[in-house]
Each structure stands twice: as structure tokens, then as C-alpha cells.
Amino acid sequence: MRSLILRHSLSLDGYGAPPPGVPDDFFVPYDEDPEFVTHMAEVLGSAGVHAMGAQAYRDMAGHWPFQDGPEAEAMNSIPKVVFSRTPIETPWATTTVCSGDLATEIAALKEQDGGPILAHGGVRFAQALVRADLVDEYHLLIAPVAHGGGRPLFTDFTRLKLVEVKSFPRGNLALTYTRPDTDDHNPEHQSA
């Protein structure tokens, strides 16, 4: 059974989408941080399938097919699954549209063979995955900016276990979390 990894960007103050008037791509420009580009290419290339909501799909399908480099190769060559309740054009090769219940569709994807499901895109799609408890691993990218407002990724109390931290020369951070083991919160299993 393959896992679902949520890759999502956050501001320093924890917002998954900026307030109106602030650009969505608030990271240090990629060409200024080659180590961050390499990391992103590795994360994107590790996917067995890229999963996203309809708006993120439209945005990415209008960008990645016209780009070069390892990130573009990973985005263009790996199959995509777009979640949309309304009909959507799929100009990007190897795209499947899922229009049913999110939890049911994700469960079916998890049962398939292959590398992990890498979910990314808009905050509404990410929030839906988090609320439905479908995420096995979180790859959170923290930009060196604070918005002071916007839309949060997490809307309910969520406990996570930090498993990796990577910092990059221009101030971006990559944090990897998993859901904690049940025993991590059971007093009978904790040592004194």
C-alpha cells in the first residue's frame, strides 16, 4: 500500500495561502537558491503519481509543459490525478480525473502499485486531505516571509511527529512530518 505525501508551502506564520494581493509563490526566487531547486526536483521525482485539485492542475498544466530541467521532467513524466467535481480539460499527458468521494478515490490510489502519491496545489484541496485524515506524511516548505493573514493549512488540532529538517542558504526550510504512532501518546507506553 503506498502512502500519501502532502507537499505544501507555508509562510513563517503558518498560512497555507496568502491574503488577497500577495503572490501565491512567495519563496525566494528559485534561481537564487540552487540547493532548494535540487531538493524540489528530488521531492517531485520521488512521486509515483501527482495528485492535485482542479485549479492547481490548471495552473501547473499551463506552466510545467513549457519548462525544462529536473523539476519539469518530474512534473511532466509522472502521471497526474486531478480531483474535480465538474468536467475539466486535461491537456497534460497521463492525467486521470477523479470526481467521486475524496476518501474513496484516495483509498483506491493507495491500493495501486507504485511510488507514493504526492499531493500538492491549493490550500482548499490540502485542507480537505488533512480534514479527512488521508495524509501519511507532510512535506512542509516554509518560506522566509510572514503574511499576517491568509488561509491556514490546518483548521483543527493536529499532532505531528517531526522526522527531518532541511534548511537552505536563502532562508527556505523543508520540514518532514509523519503522524505520531499511537504509542507516542499512550501514558502506559511512555518511559519515565
pLDDT the model gives residue 188? 46
Asked if pLDDT for residue 82 goes beyond 90, the answer is yes
pLDDT band at 21 (very low <50, low <70, confident <90, very high): confident
Fold of 4-189: Dihydrofolate Reductase, subunit A (3.40.430)
Domain ranges for the chain: 4-189
pLDDT for 25 equals: 61
Q: Which residues contact 167 (CB under 8 A, 6 or more apart)?
A: 173, 174
**Residue 55 near residue 121 (C-beta atoms within 8 A):** yes
Give the model's pLDDT for residue 32.
74
d(C-alpha 157, C-alpha 148), whole Å: 20
Q: How open is the CA angle 99-55-39, to the nearest 5 degrees?
A: 110
Mean pLDDT in residue range 116-128: 93
Q: Count CA atoms within 13 Å of residue 15 on its CB side.
A: 19
The answer on pLDDT for 17 being more than 50 is yes
Top-confidence residue, 181 or 68: 68
CA distance 144 to 179: 25
